[in-house]
Amino acid sequence: MATDSTFHHGDTKTAAPIIEMRDIEKHFGNVIALSGVSFDVRPGECHCLLGDNGAGKSTFIKTMSGVFKPTRGSITFDGKPLSFASPRDAMEAGIATVFQDLAMIPLMSVARNFFMGREPTKGWGPTKRFDVEKANAITMSEMKKMGINLRGPDQAVGTLSGGERQTVAIARAVYFGAKVLILDEPTSALGVRQTSNVLATIDRVRAQGVGVVFISHNVRHAMAVGDRFTVLNRGKTLGTAVRGNITSEQLQDLMAGGQELAQLESTLGGTV
């Protein structure tokens, strides 16, 4: 497991947020999935959103990435009010999401997966075709930037480790212009070494000025790369802490509803 000292955290305190969500509510009929969530991410920052299952993380992702429209609240992007009509709008604006179940075809090459739907072409009219050489060269170069040396661009994605596949998806998003990268539980199914590699990839992405939203229930992984930490509990944010001002134990306590338990203890005179 990589230690905190492996990662270099830039000073992003003075930068204006790329995306800012204010008092977001999302209702599904009578069910309130999000009730007053505020969150922002700045260039070159890794802002971690922590919460257990049922905290509202997936609704949050879908609201930030344009799948859901908020019932109430405002979203600004690059300082302008924003209303995405679809996830495609969000992608074109520069918000990319890498989901847990990566949208990749295992039997296809890394290069084909890297450019899926956005293939470079050469020639015109009837002779227009996929520019294999260009796609291969870009894939090898972009993966190398992220610390992965492929055997070749035609290597099947299915032969890569889980961590390497995550890196392909992250490199692809950054290459195609992501300003904000939302990572949904990127380390949840990985071993120690692969987790360390993905955390190093996140650090490389931040160094390019991309804002990273790291969504996880793993406090240790978040502490390794995070600049700020926001805890989501039952659709509400319990405030945001800056790196160095909170311990992993305190974060874990917040996630587990430690605040509520402490209040209950004081109410009942410590009999809980």
Residue 272 has a pLDDT of 43
Contact 146, 167 (CB under 8 A): yes
Quote the CA–CA distance of 159 and 234 in Å, as a whole number. 39
Which pLDDT belongs to residue 258? 52
- The Cα–Cα gap between 9 and 135 comes to 32
CA atoms within 13 Å, Cβ hemisphere of 235: 13
pLDDT at 200: 93
Looking at residue 171, what is its pLDDT?
94
Architecture in CATH of 4-103+178-267: 3-Layer(aba) Sandwich (3.40)
Q: For residues 112 and 132, what is the distance between their CA atoms, to the nearest angstrom?
A: 9
Residue segments in the chain with a per-residue pLDDT below the cut of 50: 1-8, 10, 272
The structural domains of the chain, with segments of one domain joined by +, span 4-103+178-267
pLDDT tens digits, residue range 212-225? 999 998 999 999 99
131: number of Cβ within 10 Å: 16
Q: pLDDT tens across 113-148, in order? A: 999 878 888 888 888 888 889 999 999 999 999 988
Q: Cα dist. 56→26, 35, 36, 126 in Å? A: 10, 10, 11, 49
